Structure 1
Amino acid sequence: MVEHTLASFDAALDAGATGIELDVRLSADGQVVVWHDSVLSPSQCVSSGQDLVGARVCDLTLEQLRTVDIGTLTLGRFPDQQASPGARVSTLDEVLAHSLDRDPGVWWTIELKVDPRDEGESRSRHQLLEGVLESIHGAGIERQCFVHSFDWAVLELSARLAPDVLRSALVESQTWVAGSPWTGSVRVGESHDDVCAGAVAVGAQVVSPEHDLVDEAFVGRAHAAGLAVLPWTVNEPDRMRALVLAGVDGLVTDYPDRAVSVLMATDARGGPPGTGP
Protein backbone atom coordinates (compact mmCIF):
# COMPACT_ATOMS: atom_id res chain seq x y z
CA MET A 1 0.00 0.00 0.00
CA VAL A 2 1.04 3.62 -0.47
CA GLU A 3 3.06 4.79 2.53
CA HIS A 4 1.63 7.09 5.21
CA THR A 5 -1.97 6.05 4.47
CA LEU A 6 -4.18 4.39 7.05
CA ALA A 7 -4.52 1.52 4.57
CA SER A 8 -0.77 0.95 4.79
CA PHE A 9 -0.93 0.48 8.56
CA ASP A 10 -3.82 -1.94 8.14
CA ALA A 11 -1.79 -3.87 5.57
CA ALA A 12 1.16 -4.16 7.95
CA LEU A 13 -1.04 -5.60 10.67
CA ASP A 14 -2.76 -7.93 8.18
CA ALA A 15 0.68 -9.21 7.15
CA GLY A 16 1.55 -10.12 10.74
CA ALA A 17 3.75 -7.22 11.80
CA THR A 18 4.17 -7.01 15.56
CA GLY A 19 5.60 -3.51 15.37
CA ILE A 20 5.16 -0.48 13.13
CA GLU A 21 7.78 2.13 12.23
CA LEU A 22 6.60 5.54 11.08
CA ASP A 23 7.95 9.04 10.61
CA VAL A 24 6.63 12.28 12.09
CA ARG A 25 7.09 15.99 11.47
CA LEU A 26 5.56 19.25 12.67
CA SER A 27 3.07 21.19 10.60
CA ALA A 28 3.11 24.98 10.60
CA ASP A 29 0.41 25.02 13.28
CA GLY A 30 2.25 22.60 15.56
CA GLN A 31 0.45 19.38 14.69
CA VAL A 32 2.44 16.12 14.71
CA VAL A 33 1.81 14.62 11.28
CA VAL A 34 2.86 11.28 9.82
CA TRP A 35 5.16 12.07 6.90
CA HIS A 36 8.72 11.14 5.93
CA ASP A 37 10.09 13.81 3.58
CA SER A 38 10.57 17.47 4.43
CA VAL A 39 8.44 18.36 1.39
CA LEU A 40 5.28 17.14 -0.32
CA SER A 41 6.98 15.20 -3.08
CA PRO A 42 5.48 15.32 -6.60
CA SER A 43 6.00 11.56 -6.84
CA GLN A 44 3.64 11.02 -3.90
CA CYS A 45 1.17 13.90 -3.81
CA VAL A 46 -1.63 15.34 -5.91
CA SER A 47 -3.11 18.72 -5.01
CA SER A 48 -6.89 18.84 -4.99
CA GLY A 49 -7.08 22.59 -4.39
CA GLN A 50 -4.26 25.08 -4.17
CA ASP A 51 -1.11 23.58 -5.68
CA LEU A 52 0.96 22.66 -2.63
CA VAL A 53 3.11 19.95 -4.21
CA GLY A 54 6.75 20.70 -3.48
CA ALA A 55 5.96 22.82 -0.42
CA ARG A 56 7.70 22.16 2.89
CA VAL A 57 5.54 20.36 5.45
CA CYS A 58 6.66 22.74 8.19
CA ASP A 59 5.27 25.69 6.20
CA LEU A 60 1.76 24.23 5.84
CA THR A 61 -1.03 23.97 8.39
CA LEU A 62 -2.79 20.69 9.00
CA GLU A 63 -5.81 22.06 7.14
CA GLN A 64 -3.64 22.77 4.12
CA LEU A 65 -1.96 19.37 4.29
CA ARG A 66 -5.38 17.72 4.31
CA THR A 67 -6.16 19.14 0.88
CA VAL A 68 -3.47 16.95 -0.72
CA ASP A 69 -4.23 13.44 -1.98
CA ILE A 70 -1.37 11.20 -0.77
CA GLY A 71 -2.81 7.86 -1.85
CA THR A 72 -3.35 7.99 -5.59
CA LEU A 73 0.25 7.82 -6.82
CA THR A 74 2.28 4.63 -6.55
CA LEU A 75 6.07 4.34 -6.74
CA GLY A 76 7.84 2.53 -9.55
CA ARG A 77 10.33 0.88 -7.20
CA PHE A 78 7.41 -0.93 -5.55
CA PRO A 79 5.70 -2.54 -8.56
CA ASP A 80 3.11 -4.33 -6.40
CA GLN A 81 2.12 -1.20 -4.49
CA GLN A 82 -1.62 -0.53 -4.39
CA ALA A 83 -3.15 2.93 -4.48
CA SER A 84 -5.44 4.34 -1.83
CA PRO A 85 -7.16 7.16 -3.76
CA GLY A 86 -8.27 10.12 -1.71
CA ALA A 87 -6.13 9.31 1.32
CA ARG A 88 -5.05 12.35 3.32
CA VAL A 89 -2.25 13.21 5.72
CA SER A 90 -2.93 11.85 9.21
CA THR A 91 -1.79 13.04 12.61
CA LEU A 92 0.13 10.72 14.89
CA ASP A 93 -2.88 10.60 17.23
CA GLU A 94 -5.12 9.44 14.39
CA VAL A 95 -2.75 6.68 13.27
CA LEU A 96 -2.28 5.41 16.82
CA ALA A 97 -6.01 5.39 17.53
CA HIS A 98 -6.77 3.66 14.23
CA SER A 99 -4.18 0.91 14.59
CA LEU A 100 -4.44 0.32 18.34
CA ASP A 101 -8.14 -0.27 17.89
CA ARG A 102 -7.17 -3.23 15.68
CA ASP A 103 -4.18 -4.45 17.71
CA PRO A 104 -3.72 -2.96 21.19
CA GLY A 105 -0.43 -4.81 21.64
CA VAL A 106 1.45 -3.58 18.56
CA TRP A 107 4.80 -1.87 19.22
CA TRP A 108 5.55 1.58 17.79
CA THR A 109 8.87 2.87 16.52
CA ILE A 110 8.25 6.59 16.10
CA GLU A 111 10.96 8.34 14.11
CA LEU A 112 11.23 12.07 14.73
CA LYS A 113 12.46 13.61 11.49
CA VAL A 114 14.89 16.26 12.68
CA ASP A 115 17.88 17.34 10.61
CA PRO A 116 20.32 19.08 13.00
CA ARG A 117 21.84 20.89 10.01
CA ASP A 118 18.51 22.65 9.41
CA GLU A 119 18.09 25.64 11.72
CA GLY A 120 14.31 25.48 11.66
CA GLU A 121 14.15 21.76 12.42
CA SER A 122 16.70 22.11 15.23
CA ARG A 123 14.73 25.00 16.70
CA SER A 124 11.47 23.01 16.67
CA ARG A 125 13.04 19.78 18.02
CA HIS A 126 11.68 20.35 21.53
CA GLN A 127 8.17 21.14 20.29
CA LEU A 128 8.06 18.07 18.06
CA LEU A 129 9.26 15.80 20.85
CA GLU A 130 6.76 17.24 23.31
CA GLY A 131 3.97 16.59 20.81
CA VAL A 132 5.12 13.01 20.25
CA LEU A 133 5.38 12.33 23.99
CA GLU A 134 1.89 13.76 24.51
CA SER A 135 0.57 11.34 21.87
CA ILE A 136 2.45 8.41 23.45
CA HIS A 137 1.06 9.15 26.89
CA GLY A 138 -2.41 9.84 25.50
CA ALA A 139 -2.47 6.46 23.77
CA GLY A 140 -1.03 4.69 26.82
CA ILE A 141 1.82 3.08 24.86
CA GLU A 142 4.71 4.17 27.09
CA ARG A 143 5.75 0.53 27.51
CA GLN A 144 5.39 -0.47 23.87
CA CYS A 145 7.16 2.18 21.85
CA PHE A 146 10.52 3.70 20.96
CA VAL A 147 11.35 7.36 20.42
CA HIS A 148 13.58 6.90 17.39
CA SER A 149 15.82 9.41 15.61
CA PHE A 150 19.00 9.96 13.63
CA ASP A 151 19.32 13.19 15.61
CA TRP A 152 20.67 11.92 18.90
CA ALA A 153 19.97 15.27 20.56
CA VAL A 154 16.32 14.18 20.37
CA LEU A 155 17.15 11.11 22.45
CA GLU A 156 19.05 13.07 25.07
CA LEU A 157 16.15 15.49 25.38
CA SER A 158 13.66 12.62 25.59
CA ALA A 159 15.70 11.00 28.37
CA ARG A 160 15.19 14.17 30.39
CA LEU A 161 11.55 14.79 29.53
CA ALA A 162 10.26 11.19 29.61
CA PRO A 163 12.72 8.74 31.15
CA ASP A 164 10.00 6.07 31.16
CA VAL A 165 9.83 5.98 27.33
CA LEU A 166 12.41 3.83 25.54
CA ARG A 167 14.78 5.42 23.03
CA SER A 168 16.29 4.10 19.79
CA ALA A 169 19.43 5.54 18.17
CA LEU A 170 19.35 5.46 14.38
CA VAL A 171 22.69 5.11 12.62
CA GLU A 172 23.94 5.16 9.06
CA SER A 173 27.49 5.29 7.76
CA GLN A 174 27.24 9.03 7.07
CA THR A 175 26.16 9.92 10.61
CA TRP A 176 28.79 8.04 12.63
CA VAL A 177 31.77 10.05 11.40
CA ALA A 178 34.17 12.55 12.94
CA GLY A 179 32.58 15.98 13.26
CA SER A 180 29.06 14.60 12.81
CA PRO A 181 26.21 16.94 13.77
CA TRP A 182 23.90 13.95 14.26
CA THR A 183 25.29 12.43 17.47
CA GLY A 184 24.17 14.95 20.09
CA SER A 185 26.75 15.44 22.84
CA VAL A 186 28.80 12.47 21.61
CA ARG A 187 31.90 13.38 19.63
CA VAL A 188 32.87 10.58 17.27
CA GLY A 189 36.53 9.63 17.68
CA GLU A 190 36.90 11.94 20.67
CA SER A 191 34.45 11.14 23.45
CA HIS A 192 33.53 7.77 21.89
CA ASP A 193 35.07 5.46 19.29
CA ASP A 194 32.38 2.77 19.25
CA VAL A 195 28.87 3.50 18.00
CA CYS A 196 27.30 1.22 20.60
CA ALA A 197 29.02 3.05 23.44
CA GLY A 198 27.92 6.33 21.87
CA ALA A 199 24.30 5.17 21.73
CA VAL A 200 24.41 4.22 25.41
CA ALA A 201 25.88 7.63 26.24
CA VAL A 202 22.87 9.46 24.78
CA GLY A 203 20.46 7.27 26.75
CA ALA A 204 19.38 4.80 24.07
CA GLN A 205 18.19 1.28 24.84
CA VAL A 206 18.16 0.31 21.15
CA VAL A 207 20.66 0.87 18.36
CA SER A 208 19.13 0.89 14.88
CA PRO A 209 21.77 0.81 12.13
CA GLU A 210 21.36 0.50 8.38
CA HIS A 211 21.45 -3.25 7.92
CA ASP A 212 24.73 -3.32 5.97
CA LEU A 213 26.52 -2.29 9.17
CA VAL A 214 25.23 -5.26 11.15
CA ASP A 215 26.88 -8.65 11.59
CA GLU A 216 27.24 -11.09 14.48
CA ALA A 217 30.16 -9.14 15.94
CA PHE A 218 28.14 -5.90 15.92
CA VAL A 219 25.21 -7.63 17.64
CA GLY A 220 27.59 -9.03 20.23
CA ARG A 221 29.02 -5.58 21.02
CA ALA A 222 25.55 -4.06 21.22
CA HIS A 223 24.19 -6.77 23.50
CA ALA A 224 27.26 -6.53 25.73
CA ALA A 225 26.51 -2.81 26.07
CA GLY A 226 22.88 -3.57 27.00
CA LEU A 227 21.41 -2.49 23.66
CA ALA A 228 18.86 -4.24 21.49
CA VAL A 229 19.58 -4.21 17.75
CA LEU A 230 16.95 -3.13 15.19
CA PRO A 231 18.43 -2.92 11.66
CA TRP A 232 16.73 -1.18 8.71
CA THR A 233 15.50 -1.52 5.94
CA VAL A 234 15.78 -5.25 5.25
CA ASN A 235 13.78 -6.47 2.27
CA GLU A 236 15.63 -9.51 0.90
CA PRO A 237 14.79 -12.84 2.56
CA ASP A 238 18.39 -14.08 2.54
CA ARG A 239 19.54 -10.95 4.34
CA MET A 240 16.68 -11.21 6.82
CA ARG A 241 17.71 -14.79 7.55
CA ALA A 242 21.36 -13.85 8.05
CA LEU A 243 20.47 -11.05 10.47
CA VAL A 244 18.12 -13.26 12.47
CA LEU A 245 20.87 -15.86 12.79
CA ALA A 246 23.27 -13.09 13.86
CA GLY A 247 20.93 -12.44 16.80
CA VAL A 248 19.20 -9.16 15.99
CA ASP A 249 16.17 -8.30 18.11
CA GLY A 250 13.90 -7.09 15.31
CA LEU A 251 13.80 -5.98 11.69
CA VAL A 252 12.48 -2.92 9.91
CA THR A 253 11.20 -3.92 6.47
CA ASP A 254 8.92 -2.80 3.67
CA TYR A 255 7.71 -6.41 3.41
CA PRO A 256 6.52 -7.73 6.78
CA ASP A 257 4.93 -10.74 5.08
CA ARG A 258 8.38 -11.83 3.87
CA ALA A 259 9.84 -11.27 7.33
CA VAL A 260 7.16 -13.35 9.02
CA SER A 261 7.81 -16.22 6.58
CA VAL A 262 11.57 -16.03 7.12
CA LEU A 263 11.22 -15.91 10.88
CA MET A 264 8.87 -18.86 10.97
CA ALA A 265 11.21 -20.91 8.80
CA THR A 266 14.27 -19.91 10.83
CA ASP A 267 12.57 -20.82 14.11
CA ALA A 268 11.56 -24.17 12.64
CA ARG A 269 15.22 -24.89 11.84
CA GLY A 270 16.37 -23.95 15.31
CA GLY A 271 17.15 -20.25 15.01
CA PRO A 272 17.78 -17.97 17.98
CA PRO A 273 15.26 -18.77 20.76
CA GLY A 274 12.45 -16.31 21.14
CA THR A 275 13.13 -14.56 17.85
CA GLY A 276 10.00 -12.80 16.57
CA PRO A 277 9.03 -10.36 13.84
Structure 2
Amino acid sequence: MTARPGPWASGRFDVEGHRGARGLVVESTLAGFTAAFDTGVTGVELDVRLTADGEVVVWHDAELQPDKCVSTGPDLGGARLADLTLEQLRTVDVGSRTLAAFPDQRPSPGARICTLDEVLAHGREHAPDVWWTIELKVNPLDAGEAAGRRRLLEGVLAGVHEAGIQGQCFVHSFDWAVLELSAELAPDVLRSALVESSLTWVPGSPLTGSVRVGESHVDLCDGAAAVGASVVSPDHAMVDAAFVEGAHAAGLSVLPWTVNEPDRMVELIEAGVDGLVSDYPDRAVALLSSTPA
Protein backbone atom coordinates (compact mmCIF):
# COMPACT_ATOMS: atom_id res chain seq x y z
CA MET A 1 0.00 0.00 0.00
CA THR A 2 1.28 3.47 -0.85
CA ALA A 3 2.41 5.45 2.18
CA ARG A 4 0.12 8.29 3.15
CA PRO A 5 1.80 11.66 2.51
CA GLY A 6 3.23 13.53 5.45
CA PRO A 7 6.10 13.35 7.93
CA TRP A 8 5.14 9.74 8.63
CA ALA A 9 5.60 8.62 5.01
CA SER A 10 9.10 7.37 5.88
CA GLY A 11 7.71 5.30 8.74
CA ARG A 12 8.59 7.67 11.56
CA PHE A 13 6.14 8.81 14.23
CA ASP A 14 5.34 12.53 14.06
CA VAL A 15 5.72 14.55 17.27
CA GLU A 16 4.45 18.10 16.87
CA GLY A 17 4.93 20.93 19.34
CA HIS A 18 1.71 22.85 20.04
CA ARG A 19 1.99 26.62 19.48
CA GLY A 20 5.74 26.02 19.58
CA ALA A 21 6.13 24.15 22.85
CA ARG A 22 3.53 25.79 25.09
CA GLY A 23 4.31 23.70 28.15
CA LEU A 24 7.96 24.77 28.03
CA VAL A 25 8.01 28.40 26.78
CA VAL A 26 5.27 31.01 26.30
CA GLU A 27 3.27 30.20 23.20
CA SER A 28 3.74 31.39 19.63
CA THR A 29 7.08 33.10 20.27
CA LEU A 30 10.34 32.47 18.44
CA ALA A 31 11.78 31.19 21.72
CA GLY A 32 8.88 28.76 21.97
CA PHE A 33 9.49 27.40 18.50
CA THR A 34 13.20 27.09 19.26
CA ALA A 35 12.34 25.12 22.40
CA ALA A 36 10.24 22.75 20.27
CA PHE A 37 13.05 22.31 17.75
CA ASP A 38 15.48 21.59 20.58
CA THR A 39 13.37 18.67 21.82
CA GLY A 40 13.73 16.93 18.46
CA VAL A 41 10.20 17.40 17.11
CA THR A 42 9.35 16.33 13.59
CA GLY A 43 6.77 19.12 13.33
CA VAL A 44 5.27 22.20 14.93
CA GLU A 45 1.71 23.47 15.03
CA LEU A 46 0.84 27.16 14.94
CA ASP A 47 -2.18 29.42 14.48
CA VAL A 48 -2.57 32.32 12.06
CA ARG A 49 -4.88 35.31 11.84
CA LEU A 50 -5.22 38.46 9.75
CA THR A 51 -4.48 41.92 11.09
CA ALA A 52 -6.50 44.98 10.11
CA ASP A 53 -3.88 45.79 7.45
CA GLY A 54 -3.89 42.29 5.98
CA GLU A 55 -0.75 40.85 7.57
CA VAL A 56 -0.72 37.15 8.47
CA VAL A 57 0.39 36.84 12.10
CA VAL A 58 1.03 33.86 14.34
CA TRP A 59 -1.36 34.04 17.28
CA HIS A 60 -4.15 31.82 18.57
CA ASP A 61 -6.62 34.12 20.27
CA ALA A 62 -9.05 36.44 18.52
CA GLU A 63 -8.43 39.05 21.22
CA LEU A 64 -5.37 40.23 23.17
CA GLN A 65 -5.92 38.49 26.48
CA PRO A 66 -4.53 40.28 29.57
CA ASP A 67 -3.14 37.05 31.05
CA LYS A 68 -0.82 36.72 28.04
CA CYS A 69 -0.26 40.27 26.85
CA VAL A 70 1.35 43.42 28.25
CA SER A 71 0.74 46.70 26.44
CA THR A 72 3.90 48.80 26.19
CA GLY A 73 2.12 51.68 24.44
CA PRO A 74 -1.62 52.38 24.42
CA ASP A 75 -3.63 49.84 26.41
CA LEU A 76 -4.74 47.24 23.88
CA GLY A 77 -5.94 44.64 26.35
CA GLY A 78 -9.06 42.94 25.02
CA ALA A 79 -8.70 44.41 21.53
CA ARG A 80 -9.41 42.17 18.55
CA LEU A 81 -6.42 41.31 16.38
CA ALA A 82 -8.56 41.86 13.30
CA ASP A 83 -9.05 45.50 14.35
CA LEU A 84 -5.34 46.23 14.90
CA THR A 85 -2.53 46.87 12.44
CA LEU A 86 0.74 45.01 12.65
CA GLU A 87 2.39 48.20 13.90
CA GLN A 88 -0.09 48.38 16.76
CA LEU A 89 0.42 44.71 17.61
CA ARG A 90 4.17 45.23 17.77
CA THR A 91 3.64 47.40 20.85
CA VAL A 92 2.37 44.40 22.82
CA ASP A 93 4.74 42.18 24.82
CA VAL A 94 3.47 38.60 24.54
CA GLY A 95 6.45 36.91 26.17
CA SER A 96 6.66 38.18 29.74
CA ARG A 97 3.59 36.58 31.28
CA THR A 98 3.49 32.85 31.96
CA LEU A 99 0.34 30.84 32.59
CA ALA A 100 -0.43 29.04 35.84
CA ALA A 101 -1.78 26.11 33.83
CA PHE A 102 1.78 25.48 32.65
CA PRO A 103 3.95 25.69 35.78
CA ASP A 104 7.17 24.91 33.90
CA GLN A 105 6.50 27.52 31.21
CA ARG A 106 9.43 29.90 30.75
CA PRO A 107 8.95 33.52 29.71
CA SER A 108 10.48 35.23 26.69
CA PRO A 109 10.53 38.84 27.91
CA GLY A 110 9.87 41.43 25.26
CA ALA A 111 8.70 38.95 22.63
CA ARG A 112 6.29 40.36 20.08
CA ILE A 113 3.63 38.74 17.89
CA CYS A 114 5.40 37.53 14.75
CA THR A 115 4.31 37.33 11.16
CA LEU A 116 4.07 33.91 9.58
CA ASP A 117 6.97 34.82 7.30
CA GLU A 118 9.16 35.58 10.32
CA VAL A 119 8.33 32.30 12.03
CA LEU A 120 8.92 30.27 8.88
CA ALA A 121 12.24 32.01 8.24
CA HIS A 122 13.28 31.24 11.82
CA GLY A 123 12.32 27.61 11.36
CA ARG A 124 14.09 27.26 8.04
CA GLU A 125 17.26 28.56 9.69
CA HIS A 126 17.10 26.43 12.83
CA ALA A 127 15.17 23.29 11.83
CA PRO A 128 14.85 23.04 8.05
CA ASP A 129 13.42 19.52 8.07
CA VAL A 130 10.44 20.07 10.39
CA TRP A 131 6.88 19.93 9.12
CA TRP A 132 4.53 22.86 9.64
CA THR A 133 0.91 22.41 10.66
CA ILE A 134 -0.58 25.85 10.03
CA GLU A 135 -4.01 26.35 11.56
CA LEU A 136 -6.07 29.06 9.90
CA LYS A 137 -8.33 30.55 12.56
CA VAL A 138 -11.64 31.13 10.78
CA ASN A 139 -14.99 31.04 12.53
CA PRO A 140 -17.59 30.65 9.77
CA LEU A 141 -20.22 32.17 12.09
CA ASP A 142 -18.16 35.38 12.40
CA ALA A 143 -19.02 37.46 9.34
CA GLY A 144 -15.67 39.25 9.32
CA GLU A 145 -13.61 36.10 9.63
CA ALA A 146 -15.68 34.29 7.01
CA ALA A 147 -15.28 37.22 4.63
CA GLY A 148 -11.51 37.17 5.19
CA ARG A 149 -11.13 33.43 4.63
CA ARG A 150 -9.68 33.72 1.11
CA ARG A 151 -7.39 36.63 1.98
CA LEU A 152 -5.97 34.75 4.97
CA LEU A 153 -5.49 31.57 2.95
CA GLU A 154 -3.85 33.42 0.08
CA GLY A 155 -1.45 35.05 2.55
CA VAL A 156 -0.60 31.70 4.10
CA LEU A 157 -0.04 30.03 0.74
CA ALA A 158 2.17 32.90 -0.41
CA GLY A 159 4.26 32.55 2.73
CA VAL A 160 4.47 28.77 2.38
CA HIS A 161 5.68 28.99 -1.20
CA GLU A 162 8.07 31.85 -0.44
CA ALA A 163 9.64 29.74 2.32
CA GLY A 164 9.76 26.71 0.04
CA ILE A 165 7.89 24.47 2.49
CA GLN A 166 4.92 23.58 0.28
CA GLY A 167 6.10 19.96 0.41
CA GLN A 168 6.38 19.85 4.21
CA CYS A 169 3.31 21.56 5.62
CA PHE A 170 -0.41 21.19 6.19
CA VAL A 171 -3.15 23.76 5.78
CA HIS A 172 -5.07 22.93 8.94
CA SER A 173 -8.47 24.26 10.05
CA PHE A 174 -11.66 23.60 11.97
CA ASP A 175 -13.38 25.43 9.11
CA TRP A 176 -13.38 22.81 6.37
CA ALA A 177 -14.34 25.44 3.80
CA VAL A 178 -10.71 26.59 4.15
CA LEU A 179 -9.57 23.15 3.04
CA GLU A 180 -11.86 23.10 0.01
CA LEU A 181 -10.63 26.52 -1.06
CA SER A 182 -7.02 25.48 -0.51
CA ALA A 183 -7.54 22.43 -2.70
CA GLU A 184 -8.55 24.79 -5.49
CA LEU A 185 -5.83 27.39 -4.98
CA ALA A 186 -2.89 25.12 -4.09
CA PRO A 187 -3.51 21.43 -4.78
CA ASP A 188 0.20 20.77 -4.08
CA VAL A 189 -0.19 21.70 -0.39
CA LEU A 190 -1.58 19.00 1.90
CA ARG A 191 -4.65 19.67 4.03
CA SER A 192 -5.68 18.61 7.53
CA ALA A 193 -9.24 18.59 8.90
CA LEU A 194 -9.51 19.58 12.55
CA VAL A 195 -12.34 18.01 14.54
CA GLU A 196 -13.75 19.11 17.87
CA SER A 197 -15.95 16.68 19.75
CA SER A 198 -19.68 17.53 19.71
CA LEU A 199 -19.09 20.60 17.50
CA THR A 200 -17.71 19.49 14.14
CA TRP A 201 -19.57 16.34 13.15
CA VAL A 202 -23.13 17.21 14.15
CA PRO A 203 -26.21 17.81 11.99
CA GLY A 204 -26.28 21.36 10.71
CA SER A 205 -22.62 21.95 11.51
CA PRO A 206 -21.29 25.19 10.01
CA LEU A 207 -17.75 23.80 10.15
CA THR A 208 -17.82 21.10 7.46
CA GLY A 209 -17.78 23.21 4.30
CA SER A 210 -19.90 21.74 1.51
CA VAL A 211 -20.31 18.44 3.40
CA ARG A 212 -23.69 18.03 5.10
CA VAL A 213 -23.44 15.84 8.18
CA GLY A 214 -25.84 12.90 7.99
CA GLU A 215 -26.98 13.91 4.52
CA SER A 216 -24.16 14.01 1.97
CA HIS A 217 -21.95 11.98 4.31
CA VAL A 218 -22.62 9.83 7.37
CA ASP A 219 -19.05 8.99 8.37
CA LEU A 220 -16.74 11.71 9.71
CA CYS A 221 -13.64 10.42 7.96
CA ASP A 222 -15.44 10.08 4.65
CA GLY A 223 -16.57 13.68 5.05
CA ALA A 224 -13.03 14.87 5.78
CA ALA A 225 -11.74 13.05 2.72
CA ALA A 226 -14.50 14.64 0.64
CA VAL A 227 -13.25 18.17 1.40
CA GLY A 228 -9.76 17.19 0.24
CA ALA A 229 -8.08 16.43 3.55
CA SER A 230 -5.28 13.89 3.75
CA VAL A 231 -5.19 14.14 7.56
CA VAL A 232 -7.91 14.10 10.20
CA SER A 233 -6.93 15.84 13.43
CA PRO A 234 -9.43 15.18 16.23
CA ASP A 235 -9.52 15.98 19.92
CA HIS A 236 -7.52 13.06 21.31
CA ALA A 237 -10.44 11.97 23.50
CA MET A 238 -12.25 10.90 20.33
CA VAL A 239 -9.50 8.55 19.21
CA ASP A 240 -9.23 4.81 19.70
CA ALA A 241 -8.07 1.94 17.52
CA ALA A 242 -11.43 1.75 15.73
CA PHE A 243 -11.27 5.45 14.84
CA VAL A 244 -7.75 5.04 13.48
CA GLU A 245 -8.76 1.98 11.46
CA GLY A 246 -11.66 3.88 9.90
CA ALA A 247 -9.51 6.90 9.10
CA HIS A 248 -6.81 4.80 7.49
CA ALA A 249 -9.45 2.97 5.46
CA ALA A 250 -10.59 6.38 4.16
CA GLY A 251 -7.00 7.20 3.18
CA LEU A 252 -6.47 9.65 6.04
CA SER A 253 -3.62 9.90 8.52
CA VAL A 254 -4.54 10.61 12.17
CA LEU A 255 -2.97 13.49 14.14
CA PRO A 256 -4.76 13.98 17.49
CA TRP A 257 -4.48 17.06 19.70
CA THR A 258 -3.48 18.14 22.41
CA VAL A 259 -1.86 15.15 24.13
CA ASN A 260 0.15 15.96 27.25
CA GLU A 261 0.05 12.89 29.51
CA PRO A 262 2.59 10.13 28.74
CA ASP A 263 0.12 7.34 29.52
CA ARG A 264 -2.30 8.73 26.95
CA MET A 265 0.52 9.12 24.45
CA VAL A 266 1.24 5.40 24.83
CA GLU A 267 -2.44 4.52 24.36
CA LEU A 268 -2.64 6.54 21.16
CA ILE A 269 0.59 5.16 19.76
CA GLU A 270 -0.69 1.63 20.44
CA ALA A 271 -3.99 2.58 18.73
CA GLY A 272 -2.00 3.32 15.58
CA VAL A 273 -2.11 7.11 15.26
CA ASP A 274 0.43 8.62 12.89
CA GLY A 275 1.52 11.42 15.19
CA LEU A 276 0.33 13.70 17.95
CA VAL A 277 0.35 17.36 18.92
CA SER A 278 1.54 18.20 22.43
CA ASP A 279 2.31 21.16 24.65
CA TYR A 280 5.14 18.97 25.96
CA PRO A 281 6.81 17.51 22.88
CA ASP A 282 9.82 16.64 25.04
CA ARG A 283 7.68 14.04 26.83
CA ALA A 284 6.66 12.38 23.58
CA VAL A 285 10.21 12.41 22.19
CA ALA A 286 11.55 10.90 25.42
CA LEU A 287 8.83 8.25 25.46
CA LEU A 288 9.53 7.23 21.89
CA SER A 289 13.28 7.09 22.45
CA SER A 290 12.78 4.76 25.44
CA THR A 291 10.31 2.47 23.68
CA PRO A 292 11.46 -0.35 21.40
CA ALA A 293 10.35 0.13 17.79
Q: Give the alignment partner of residue 235 of structure 1, picking from 239, 257, 260.
A: 260
Query: Is 2:124 the partner of 1:104?
Result: no
Read off the aligned partner of 1:245 and give its amino acid letter.
E
Counterpart for residue 223 of structure 1: 248
In 1, distance between residues paired with 2:127 and 2:109? 25
Gaps of 5+ in 2: 1-24
CA RMSD of aligned residues (A): 0.6
Q: Partner residue of 2:280?
A: 255
TM-score by length of 2: 0.91
Picking from 143, 150, 155, the partner of 1:126 is 150
- Rounded Cα–Cα distance in structure 1 between residues aligned with 2:290 and 2:128: 26
Q: Secondary structure at the match of 2:213?
A: coil
Q: 1:208 aligns with which of 233, 238, 260?
A: 233
Alignment of 1:32-181 (within 5 A): 32-173=56-197, 174-181=199-206
Q: Among all aligned residue pairs of Structure 1 and Structure 2, give the percentage whose two residues are the same amino acid.
A: 72
Q: Distance in 2 between matches of 1:35 and 1:89?
A: 7
- The residue type equivalent to 2:156 in the other structure is V
1:198 aligns with 2:259: no
Letter in 2 for 1:169: A
The residue number in structure 2 matching 1:20 is 44
What CA deviation, in whole Å up to 9, does each residue of 1:60-103 have, x standing for no partner?
A: 00000000000010000000111111000100000000111011
Q: What one-letter code is carried by the residue in structure 2 that aligns with 1:214?
A: V
In structure 1, list runs of 5 or more residues that go unmatched.
Answer: 271-277
Q: Is the 8 A contact 1:244 1:263 kept in 2?
A: no
- Partner Cα separation in structure 2 for residue 161 and residue 19 of structure 1: 24
Kindly state the Cα deviation for residue 263 of structure 1 after the two structures are TM-superposed: 1.6
Q: Secondary structure in 2 aligned to 1:252? A: strand
Cα distance in 2 for residues equivalent to 1:122 and 1:235: 32
Counterparts of 2:267 and 2:187, CA distance in 1: 33
CA distance in 2, matches of 1:71, 1:264: 31
Structure 1 residue 265: Cα displacement: 2.7
Q: Is the 8 A contact 1:23 1:35 kept in 2?
A: yes
Which secondary structure state, in structure 1, belongs to the residue aligned with residue 107 of structure 2? coil
**Distance in structure 1 (CA, Å) of the matches to 2:127 and 2:104:** 25
CA distance in structure 2 between the partners assigned to 1:213 and 1:79 by the alignment: 27
- Considering Cα pairs closer than 8 Å and 6+ residues apart, tell me whether 1 or 2 has the greater RCO: 2
Secondary structure, counterpart of 1:110 in structure 2: strand
- Equivalences, count: 268
* 1:253 alignment partner AA: S
Give 2:123's aligned amino acid. S
Partner of 2:54: 30
Give the letter aligned to residue 107 of structure 1. Answer: W
